[in-house]
Structure 1
């Protein structure tokens, strides 16, 4: 993957597909129409101009060369054939005249046995820039009664001199950083190799690039596009080093070894800021522009470029990378005496600032470190909705903190309790019972029986039977609406992928009882529950955000103000749970409120368990989910102690 991270760099080439190549150099209707009008008498230079331009456009270079004088015809055919390769052109179209006048008199001016013909060249540079259109001029001479084009490189472009060629030079800006809330980059420098070529030194460019594409195998079978690489190399200034891949060490040592025997390939050791410092699953990684990734990010990126391949780096690729400045130049083979013929200025990259706080991120990472199961944690600020930390441990590169889909178990009791306090005229002191078993709507719920007490005591003891019985006080749609008020199942307007949760409307009393205890078809992500905890602490549910000053494709919902009386009762219930209930192992701070839960569920053909902790301290709310049986209050305490 060629570098896009370390300051402006010159590279060459363009992107064109096989389909576009097949369509290249087709005959222009405008050219044919323009050349079949006018005088066809023997004294006119028109037939010679017509035959030359049509033959050049359709790729019959030998026929075009037969209409020239001045140099060897093979040299002419070779020069014309190299125009498309030197520009990595998708198509070339020619038309008589300059578009200023339709008069044949203006297009071809004869002076005895000499003539000048003006024409227009339109070249589609593919992904290298906008279509390039420029006026052309050729001189003709009548020899033996026949008009011939007097060959000169200036026929290709008026500024092209003998010994010169066309080339595409691309100047890429330094990739902008993804930063934390203090403005520090979330990427770190690592050792790497720039793998590339000197185009003019390749004995067989096609062989070299075919081998590179064959041996450069990446994850999920991703490959480089050899044809597009070849176009990029052929259009490059021959004397300049052209990076084609940037490979991190030691991660890509095996790949570097496979590439080491390819003729003409060069390896330059570099230091590059291409590895995420933390929160890799959210921040994302950089990788090579393989064929499928190029389809995803689109122009103007080219094979091998270092681009965002996941997370924010992918989602904000164009903002972070900007777009390159593309220049068409005329130069000799040594690269000296280059003259710019046309340029297209690129867009500068822009920094993407996140709300991640390195202090909270370190604490979250340390809290999950060493666990034997995949685990995720999210920390948010209740007063604003800012996401302060996103930690994933053992998740195989997945951002399960945002996108995990788990049954919440008794942590969903926060939602159920709020619904009861709001809709059923209950509070933390309401008398309830906790039998060992209860059947609701044909569904039986069991736990350790604890007799009669207050709702707060039964909640603290994780009495599922209490909530199952109380489900009869609510109708199914009311429960769904209360969950929605806490953001569950709603569109958040977040600028990165996230699972907001789902609470299907219960079809019967049994499903409603299961939903009250966070089972059945209820699913949430750790971020969902962190926001629930934040709302319980703040009294207002606020939409989350992790990127600052980045335009949103979906409008965020307005904050949801919650009923003060129900929130006051809910805080007392959660405080009781933290001081005397299932969350007490996390109580390293007197103002902790929260709940722990252990939930069994089935995923495909496998029985699985998720251990939860959901709580808040001051202006911090967090949720922990572990795919296994662990002591989550102990993990929460580790986080709170820092």
Structure 2
């Protein structure tokens, strides 16, 4: 296959004079050989190669009038238009042409000549861009010598061998129905809602660019993202002219104002549809769908196109390719009516696949009801200690953020679960070890305060949420041991969940004061509700296990191994958490005999404001959970409602959004 000379768009092209000289040299050399063999008529037998080459070069670089002048006939404008429309009809990123046949070596003759007639073979490679894989095929053209010059005999089949007179190319995308997301019992987590599909009939647009620019201008997504009018224009020009092309889906009742603006744009039409896009539970985790803007297309990649409905958050975004599959794309030839369509090439798409989660509908309903009455942002996450399954994810008033997984809060004395585990396993302490709980204590230059209590057992100090006790006991643990235990219990490690989650932050303490703050869950320590629920699960089962919420879709390479606690730590933690819920600050959550847990209400200053988060962290049977409420509220009361399965009453006062 012989490549074309390089043009100013990437291929070198010799100056016109040098090309002429080279042609003459070749002709003279050929004549010399023929004269030696007593053959005459060299000057009457010019090669058809220059005509073929110049036609293909002009077509490839977009000089369509020059290519048309290489053809026989007077309607050069019609030829120029036909060649120029190919890229638009295919929404092609590029068009490459070369002499010869694809897959054959350069020794194969590209031109067969018989007297004043000739046939040339060439290859076409079209980069369909967002429409899918490159399209490569063999092209051919017939030439005729007229007045001593070779000319191309124009026919639509030069564009593609199957293209006939009166036909045009078009790209048809067939998108399969999106797969659903299911709970652990196989029930869908999505339900259908009424919506509008806004779109156009491409062949009826008087001014496609003006219509699509107006559509992009009137469409505001996520407060500022826009559709790209140029990419929309390419999509419309390549679509079958007679078929309705959906470009944007808007929900009724939610996007009414925007829908009204779009309906007033000349050329924009709409259809009423029912689409399964609304989450029935855990919407912040399940995620939402929306139009494919330019930046979103960078995330999900081809073959999705501007305006396509794609996942924009949560599982819907993370598992976009699995849930949506990929469209089947066909290049077709069709007549002006669109009634007669012939497929020239088809690329089969991938079928969508369902995504199964570990969410338990009963536990999810209980979690939602427990937070329902609160007037401040709150999150709750529940896991199974026996295997790490996440069975409930509830977020209330979090403005669409999944703070149950991604919230970053100081844990306060609830972090004492980790501190106590470290003391039990490495310092020889038990829940009955004598401790003190002063109102104020200074360790390493840092001052800690608590509601003072009489001296007693470690269990009684823990039950009272005594930060000064934990700060004092930090002297029994060295920094390396503390950090090693935090790492064993997953803090700051990748869990390989396949969804965003904050795994906690415990920077290595630089001195005794920072170590004391870490033991008390203060300073630079931050945890998510999911991370705290895992600590409660480890205390309940005796083994820390990595969490998962997507069945069969975790990343084994990033998933840490389960870590078994020492027997002394297991017994000690159960004693502490049992005491805290029965007689301590968490006693409002004590509703069943095997329920255990602790509370904390750390405060900190951020942006000049004092913020508070109210925690409950505990378990009952094979259920461990954590609740974080932004503001002053009784997390223990909410925990009791969760365990009983009853809705929460309105409670709590806002302290601002604490999570970052």
TM-score range, shorter chain: over 0.9
CA distance in 2, matches of 1:29, 1:79: 26
Matched with 1:569 is: 572
Range with bigger deviation, 616-625 or 576-585 = 576-585
CA contact (8 A) 1:24 1:91 kept: no
TM-score by length of 1: 0.93
CA distance in 2, matches of 1:388, 1:42: 86
CA distance in 2, matches of 1:31, 1:378: 70
1:341-396 CA distance string (max 9 Å, x none): 11111122221111111111111111111212111111000000011111111111
Matched with 1:403 is: 406
Match of 1:594 among 597, 601, 620: 597
1:23-82 CA distance string (max 9 Å, x none): 999465699999988769563322222222121111111111112124611111111111
Range with bigger deviation, 473-482 or 235-244 = 473-482
CA distance in 1, matches of 2:197, 2:430: 65
Q: 2:302 matched to 1:299?
A: yes
CA distance in 1, matches of 2:627, 2:105: 73
CA distance in 1, matches of 2:568, 2:187: 42
CA distance in 2, matches of 1:162, 1:111: 26
Match of 1:81 among 51, 66, 84: 84
Q: Structure 1 residues 110 and 557, CA, compared in 2 at 3 Å: closer, same or farther?
A: same
Higher relative contact order (CA 8 A, sep 6+): 1
Match of 1:55 among 44, 53, 58: 58
TM-score by length of 2: 0.90
Matched with 1:119 is: 122
1:542-563 CA distance string (max 9 Å, x none): 0111111225274211100100
Q: Following TM superposition, by how much is the alpha carbon of 1:142 offset from its aligned partner in structure 2, in angstroms?
A: 2.2
CA contact (8 A) 2:360 2:391 kept: yes
Aligned residue-pair number: 619
CA contact (8 A) 2:100 2:106 kept: yes
CA distance in 1, matches of 2:68, 2:524: 74
Matched with 1:385 is: 388
Q: Spell out the pairing of 1:411-450 with structure 2 (5 A cutoff).
A: 411-450=414-453
Matched with 2:539 is: 536
Q: Following TM superposition, by how much is the alpha carbon of 1:264 offset from its aligned partner in structure 2, in angstroms?
A: 0.8
CA distance in 2, matches of 1:267, 1:34: 57
Q: 2:219 matched to 1:255?
A: no
SS at match of 1:191: strand
Matched with 1:502 is: 505
CA distance in 1, matches of 2:362, 2:158: 65
Matched with 2:106 is: 102
Q: Structure 1 residues 74 and 378, CA, compared in 2 at 3 Å: closer, same or farther?
A: same
CA distance in 2, matches of 1:593, 1:479: 24
Q: Structure 1 residues 473 and 188, CA, compared in 2 at 3 Å: closer, same or farther?
A: same
Q: Structure 1 residues 26 and 343, CA, compared in 2 at 3 Å: closer, same or farther?
A: farther
Q: 2:277 matched to 1:274?
A: yes
CA contact (8 A) 1:34 1:95 kept: no
Q: Spell out the pairing of 1:252-401 with structure 2 (5 A cutoff).
A: 252-401=255-404
Q: Spell out the pairing of 1:204-243 with structure 2 (5 A cutoff).
A: 204-243=207-246
Q: Structure 1 residues 472 and 200, CA, compared in 2 at 3 Å: closer, same or farther?
A: same
1:381-414 CA distance string (max 9 Å, x none): 0000011111111111111111111110110111
Gaps of 5+ in 1: 1-22
Gaps of 5+ in 2: 1-5, 29-42, 646-660
SS at match of 2:191: strand
Q: Following TM superposition, by how much is the alpha carbon of 1:193 offset from its aligned partner in structure 2, in angstroms?
A: 0.3
SS at match of 1:601: strand
CA distance in 1, matches of 2:428, 2:106: 86
Matched with 2:180 is: 177
Q: Following TM superposition, by how much is the alpha carbon of 1:441 offset from its aligned partner in structure 2, in angstroms?
A: 2.1
Matched with 1:17 is: none
CA distance in 1, matches of 2:13, 2:339: 37
CA contact (8 A) 1:374 1:393 kept: yes
Matched with 2:648 is: none
CA contact (8 A) 2:548 2:554 kept: no
Range with bigger deviation, 150-159 or 443-452 = 443-452
Q: Following TM superposition, by how much is the alpha carbon of 1:141 offset from its aligned partner in structure 2, in angstroms?
A: 1.9
**Considering only CA atoms, is the larger Rg found in Structure 1 or Structure 2?**
2
CA distance in 1, matches of 2:201, 2:216: 17
CA distance in 2, matches of 1:315, 1:303: 19
SS at match of 2:338: coil
Q: Following TM superposition, by how much is the alpha carbon of 1:305 offset from its aligned partner in structure 2, in angstroms?
A: 0.4
- Give the alignment's Cα RMSD to 1 decimal: 2.2
SS at match of 2:430: coil
Q: Following TM superposition, by how much is the alpha carbon of 1:585 offset from its aligned partner in structure 2, in angstroms?
A: 0.4
Matched with 2:140 is: 137
Match of 2:191 among 173, 188, 193: 188
CA distance in 1, matches of 2:204, 2:87: 20
CA contact (8 A) 1:124 1:130 kept: yes
CA contact (8 A) 2:198 2:248 kept: yes
Q: 2:78 matched to 1:68?
A: no
CA distance in 1, matches of 2:552, 2:192: 26
Q: Structure 1 residues 31 and 540, CA, compared in 2 at 3 Å: closer, same or farther?
A: farther
Q: Structure 1 residues 152 and 553, CA, compared in 2 at 3 Å: closer, same or farther?
A: farther
Matched with 1:4 is: none
CA distance in 2, matches of 1:98, 1:70: 27
CA distance in 2, matches of 1:590, 1:227: 65
CA distance in 1, matches of 2:291, 2:237: 20
Matched with 1:472 is: 475
CA contact (8 A) 1:530 1:615 kept: yes
Range with bigger deviation, 432-441 or 594-603 = 432-441
CA contact (8 A) 2:7 2:13 kept: no
CA contact (8 A) 1:39 1:46 kept: no
